Amino acid sequence: MLGGMKGLLLALLVGLAAILPAMGGEVVVIPLKGDVSKAQLFFLKRALKEATERRAEAVILDIDTYGGELDAAVKMQQALSAVPMRTIAYIDPNAGSAGAMIAISTKQIFMAPISAIGAAAPVMASGEDLPKVLAEKSTSYFTAYFRGVATENGHNPDVAEAFIVKDKAVVIDGETVHQAGKLLSLNAKEATRRINGKPVLAEGIAASVGEVARLAGLQGDLVVIEPYRAERLAFWLTRIAPLLIAAGLLGIWVELKNPGMMIPGILGGICLALFFGGHYLAGLAGWEAPLVFVLGVILVVVELLFLAGGSIVVGLTGAALMLGAVVWAMLDRVPQHRGRWLPTMAELEGPLMKLGLGLLLTILGAMALVRYLPKTSLYRRLVLQTSLPEGPSFPAGSNEFTGIAVGDLGVADTILRPSGRGIFGGVPRDVITQGEFLEKGTPIRVVAVEGSRIIVERADVSRK
Model confidence over 3-47: pLDDT tens digits? 555 555 545 544 544 444 444 479 999 999 988 987 788 889 889
Distance CA 419, CA 434 (A): 9
What pTM does this model have?
0.59
SS3 content of the chain, % helix, strand, coil (to 5): 50, 20, 35
pLDDT of residue 70: 83
pLDDT of residue 462: 60
- Three-state DSSP at 68 gives strand
pLDDT of residue 221: 94
CA distances from 245 to 249, 292, 354, 360 (A): 6, 15, 9, 10
Residues 6+ away with beta carbon under 8 Å from 127: none
Maximum C-alpha span of the chain: 119
Mean model confidence pLDDT for the chain: 80
Taking residues 218-225, what's their average pLDDT?
94
pLDDT at 387 over 50: no
By mean pLDDT, which of 123-137, 256-270, 419-433 is the weakest? 123-137
Q: Which amino acid is at 117?
A: I
Q: How confident is the model at residue 286 (pLDDT cuts 50, 70, 90)?
A: low
